[in-house]
Amino acid sequence: MTRSLQAMAYARPSALRSTAEGRLLGLETSRGATPTGVQDHPGFFSGFLTHPQAAAAGLLAVADVAAARYHQPQARASLDPVVTGNGDRLRFESFSGCCGVYARLDVLDGGLDGGEVGHGTTNVDVNDPLREALSRVGALDPVHLRVGPDELAVTTTDGPVVEKKVPLPDRWLRGFAESQVVAAGFELRAELPAAEAVRFLRSLPRGRGRGGASWVAPAGRGLRPTTRPVPGAVCLPGPERLAALQRVLRHATALRVYGPAVSGTDATASAWEAVLPGMRLTLTLSPDASRGFSGEGGVLDALASDDAAEDAELISVLLAWEPRIDVADLAAASGLTPGRVRAALVRLGTSGRVGYDPAEAAYFHRELPYDAARVERHNPRLRDARALLAAGAVTLDGATGTVTAEDGHRHRVREENGALTCTCLWWAKYRGGRGPCKHALAVRMARREGRS
């Protein structure tokens, strides 16, 4: 696994402090993108939390996921959550160390009071003393939230006094890219009232399971386990990975479950959203606890398309940290068709520049605070496909393509119902369930270039 050190510098540690007016939750920011360019310590909000205890629990849940490795647990090593100001809300996001769980806390307009929300994306410091303090926030404690440095921190520090350096694996970045492609295929499958949500979540196993897919299906006001993926069912792969939702159970008013339409018996990803007062906490699970989002391959077609790359450059200049990206508005502003706009958004998602919120069935704009372009540079299947194309290993014959591997073995790529199949072991193993193989990618790229 390719890793680099990600450095995050803060003016001072985040902390929860007592003041004459109540308690001040100061979340310190690192270097990040804003509408006016890159800033060292951008500020996104200063005002009150309308439901501070629920917000504290939600932040702890996001931090829990960042610190967790659900598959083959190792010593805790987390990357500070990403925070995005979208003008009407704050989004806190994290990925598990094993790349199989994506967490997002949306603090909506109803969860904030007394301040305007700015625009931009950066990391936010979540340290152990802060975690301990957040766990002690009471139901009646008034909490003032500040995301970004106050005037004192800006004027009295010559440079960062807190710096963290943590390993940043490429597959973690690819997970951010893949999760938005997966989530765009979700639909709401069930909504449980608070009492049923608590009953269901507390019935789940706490320890690691035996692996394999398990399924649940709507039944009245709740969910029931099912041995097979019946129509309307949702896959629950590795139910122990929903443990972070336990943090917010006492505040939840409902539980919403999202997933793709059932087709076949293969495990699928799913999203589990705890509805909180003025907030939403969503956990998106990969199809298996041992299978991270980074290998799903849903972004490969977008990465391999030169047309999508050009369209993405145009669309990117029209984005302004919108909480909900309107495809029709972008189509009108860019002169592209809605289909090309959606393809461009997928392409932008491959570098972390957009995410997808199944609750609103819409993309949103963010800018990951690290070199997300590595997603494309270090994607092995895409890199291998381009090498095959450059070596002249691809020949086309109508609907069939032949790819000659380095060992001289020839793989046949055929188009069936708009999808490409291949005779290689990768396709035989996954049957297209984890995106195209390198041979199919190379054939698709050759066709786009008009090769024969």
Percent of all residues in the chain with a pLDDT value above 90, rounded to a whole number: 50
- The domains found in the chain, sorted by start residue, are 1-295 (3.70.10.10), 300-375 (1.10.10.10), 379-448 (no CATH)
Phi, psi torsion values for 291, nearest 5 degrees: -125, 105
pLDDT score, position 452: 47
Phi, psi torsion values for 197, nearest 5 degrees: -65, -45
54: left (phi over 0), alpha (psi -120 to 50) or beta: alpha
pLDDT class of 153 with cuts at 50, 70, 90: very low
Output the six-digit token pair for 381: 């299947």
User: CB–CB of 84/120 below 8 Å?
Assistant: yes
Res. 135: pLDDT tops 70 = yes
Res. 354: pLDDT tops 70 = yes
- Smallest CA-to-CA distance from 121 within 174, 79, 95, 85 is with 85
User: CB–CB of 201/249 below 8 Å?
Assistant: yes
pLDDT class of 157 with cuts at 50, 70, 90: very low
pLDDT score, position 52: 96
The position carrying tokens 């109508």 is 398
For residue 218, count other CB atoms closer than 10 A to its CB.
16
In order, the DSSP letters of 36-73 are: TEEESS---EEEEESSHHHHHHHHHHHHHHHT--SSS-
Residue 354 CA to chain centroid, in angstroms? 9
**112, 116, 120, 125 alpha-carbon torsion, rounded to 10°:** -50
Res. 275: pLDDT tops 50 = yes
